[in-house]
Structure 1
Amino acid sequence: MPAANLTAQFLDEIKKSDPPKKLMLFFDQEITGFILEWRATGGLSYYFRYPIGNRKMRMLKIAKERDISLSEARGQAYMLRREFLDGNEPTIKRALRNNAPLLKDFICKQYLPSAKVRKRSWRLDETALNYHFVPKFGQRRMDTITRAEMEAQLESLITDGFKPVSVNRYLITIKSVYSAAVRWQVLEAGKNPCTGISPFPTIARRERFLTQVEAKRLLDVLDSSPNWRVALSIKLILLTGARKREILDARWDYINLEARVLTLPNSKSGHPRHIALSDAALSLLDRLPREADVPWLFFNPKSKQPLNNLHPTWVNLRVQAGLPDLRIHDLRHSFASFLVNHGRSLYEVQGLLGHQSPRTTMRYAHLSSSRMVEAANLVGSIVSKDP
């Protein structure tokens, strides 16, 4: 009884081949129990097989291949297997009525387990889905949600005050969910409610750089904060130019004190990244307490897991510093601006920020305009001299 990846291409190849001399069963590699039966007469049918009692199996016929699409048969097999795993007796009547999974079930049982393996940002997907889509559509079958309903939900988020750039990220996330369902043949492509939904127009992100006076004011607030773990993590972001999650997910074994670097094995670019540690950064690390069973630099003392949500504390800190419009990511921009304004090259900034392409670093080129004027004056003084 061969295993097979039951796809449209596989079915086409079967139909073009001569019928077998005796009955053959092809077991799907993705959904346990989902079977394609090929008879000597050439007939093809879908079945779901599951155990009953001791060493006994039952074959439940879903439909003939000519009467149902592969994606529908796969969806019904998924529902039958879910019934079996829930301890219920699988019935084809129920499966036919529910030929696509509930959105919450697909997200929880299929999409997120895959995202945890494939995406470092899976927690963001989990949060977006659980907050903005599961409460609204979670109890609905995936193929019953319409594009109009999905678009209305996204528009309601804009009305509730979410920024267009955030809602566009949520749109990308739910699109990924439905794309996965289609790719895994749990859902037909024509049942994707995200098809044709355009992202919301956004305003170009403003650039915010701290002045030296503002940076000093912020550091004073951080140094006096009672929430010292959060304060020190934010301070280290400013001192290194690292991204927020790079610091919050950093472990003690990533640090080489002799080489004065923090090495991140998996950075945003997908390559190892080396963050230089200044004297001020090393002094900060020396102040951090360590626990034998906790590998993280910054952790929640109760859960022993990395710090997660800095936002509530950060809002209070930036207001105390008189910087209500400052984002945590602006600290990374400020790190770059201090370097450029004090004569360091864009090549050095690129290395310190871990940019793979110099084009990304060019956003800071305008900060060195005074040095460009000096360079231009040099040419002017040369050509103005008498030969």
Structure 2
Amino acid sequence: MRNITGQKGRGFDLAAALETVAEQPSVNLTLAELVSAYSAARCDGADTRLRKWVAAFGTISAWELTPDKLQVAAQAMREHGYTPSAVNRDLSALGSAYRWAREKRFAPRGFRSPTLDVPRYEEAIRRVEVPSERIERLRAISLAYPDRRFGVFVSLLIDTGARKSELLDRYGREFNVDRCEVLAPTTKTDKPRVLFFTSATADLMRRVMPNMRAEALVFEGRVPGQPISFRKAWATCTVAAGLPDLHMHDVRHVAAASLLRAGVTLPVAAQVLGHDPAVLARRYGHLETTALRRAQEQAWNGRA
């Protein structure tokens, strides 16, 4: 037997170690089976969003679906009245399912998601302007929801500007309530980052969930090991707050605008949010310009 032990960098036989890693065969899934499995694991509503795609391609092997077929389908959607953003969101949801399959090693070795080679449509930039008092009203209303964890979730969304999956997929061990931090080791950008929340939210967590288990999802749903979606709770509370059209993801836009209005630069705001700086600049570059002008004017006044 070949020795593979030893300190890192010394006495380690990588070739021997590779032989000990079990080769996991790919799983022969149809697209319908892939979407169903992914939706059950992530509870993010992908099965509903991708229903039309499953109807069109559901019986085809998920690993044999080509970019050309997806591009033609996307074009058909556009020609039948779907907006560019709706088509892009569908393709992104499908791409998330493929990325999940690769993470779980269900896909064949070397498999490349066909969605990566489908060009996205140019779409109107969505800017969300919500007064801070409305957002705080939403926070207050969510705290009275029967499932008290929803109030924690909304407070975390508002504080961190995180994507909903970056919070719903977190385990107790990834929260440091004393430091007001959440470690998100896997994100949409495939880069780990730390999310920061307020001491008030930390106090709320201690009251609502004093016995968080390290190896359990913080926002576990009825199915063990699966996160809750909070879709019903969100719909109820946003209507009560007078924000019926506000999406969970819109809270990220609100957080971005708040950071830039506070004088945070675009590169720093992008790091805080785990966002593409170029996209952030297109959406909110005008706010950074306003903050820079204010800083310059303060400097002028200081010289006077």
Which of 259, 272, 297 is 1:352 aligned to? Answer: 272
Residue 179 (structure 2) pairs with residue 255 (structure 1): no
Alpha carbons 1:154, 1:171 under 8 Å: kept? no
Code of the aligned partner of 2:218: L
Question: Distance between the aligned counterparts of 1:266 and 1:198, measured in 2?
Answer: 25
Q: 1:61: which partner in 2?
A: none
Question: Distance between the aligned counterparts of 1:259 and 1:141, measured in 2?
Answer: 46
Question: Distance between the aligned counterparts of 1:339 and 1:112, measured in 2?
Answer: 36
Secondary structure of 1:266 counterpart = coil
Alpha carbons 1:209, 1:331 under 8 Å: kept? no
- Cα RMSD, aligned residues only: 4.8
Residue 233 (structure 2) pairs with residue 322 (structure 1): no
Alpha carbons 1:210, 1:331 under 8 Å: kept? no
Which of 5, 28, 31 is 1:107 aligned to? Answer: 31
Question: Distance between the aligned counterparts of 1:168 and 1:243, measured in 2?
Answer: 17
* Cα gap change, 1:368 to 1:130, in 2 (>3 Å): closer
Shift of 1:272: 1.9
Residue 254 (structure 2) pairs with residue 334 (structure 1): yes
Question: Distance between the aligned counterparts of 1:291 and 1:267, measured in 2?
Answer: 22
Residue 164 (structure 2) pairs with residue 244 (structure 1): yes
* Cα gap change, 1:292 to 1:218, in 2 (>3 Å): closer
Alpha carbons 1:208, 1:334 under 8 Å: kept? yes
Residue 149 (structure 2) pairs with residue 229 (structure 1): yes
* Cα gap change, 1:295 to 1:157, in 2 (>3 Å): farther
* Cα gap change, 1:371 to 1:133, in 2 (>3 Å): closer
Secondary structure of 2:182 counterpart = strand
Q: 2:216: which partner in 1?
A: 295
Q: 1:267: which partner in 2?
A: 187
When Rg is computed on C-alpha atoms for both structures, the one with the higher figure is 1
Structure 1, unmatched stretches of 5+, are 1-28, 33-103, 185-193
Secondary structure of 1:218 counterpart = helix
Structure 1 or 2: larger strand share? 1
Alpha carbons 1:218, 1:318 under 8 Å: kept? yes
Q: 2:18: which partner in 1?
A: none
Shift of 1:299: 1.6
Aligned residues: 261
Code of the aligned partner of 2:127: E
Code of the aligned partner of 2:163: R
Which of 103, 122, 133 is 1:213 aligned to? Answer: 133
* Cα gap change, 1:246 to 1:127, in 2 (>3 Å): same
Secondary structure of 1:367 counterpart = helix
* Cα gap change, 1:206 to 1:133, in 2 (>3 Å): closer
* Cα gap change, 1:332 to 1:170, in 2 (>3 Å): closer
Alpha carbons 1:262, 1:274 under 8 Å: kept? yes
Shift of 1:274: 0.9
Secondary structure of 1:133 counterpart = helix
Greater relative contact order (CA < 8 Å, ≥ 6 in sequence): 2
Which of 264, 273, 279 is 2:199 aligned to? Answer: 279
Shift of 1:273: 0.7
Alpha carbons 2:162, 2:252 under 8 Å: kept? yes
Deviations 1:141-160 (A, max 9, x none): 999xxx9999579746985x
Shift of 1:242: 1.3
* Cα gap change, 1:284 to 1:168, in 2 (>3 Å): same
Structure 2, unmatched stretches of 5+, are 1-22, 109-114
Code of the aligned partner of 1:270: D
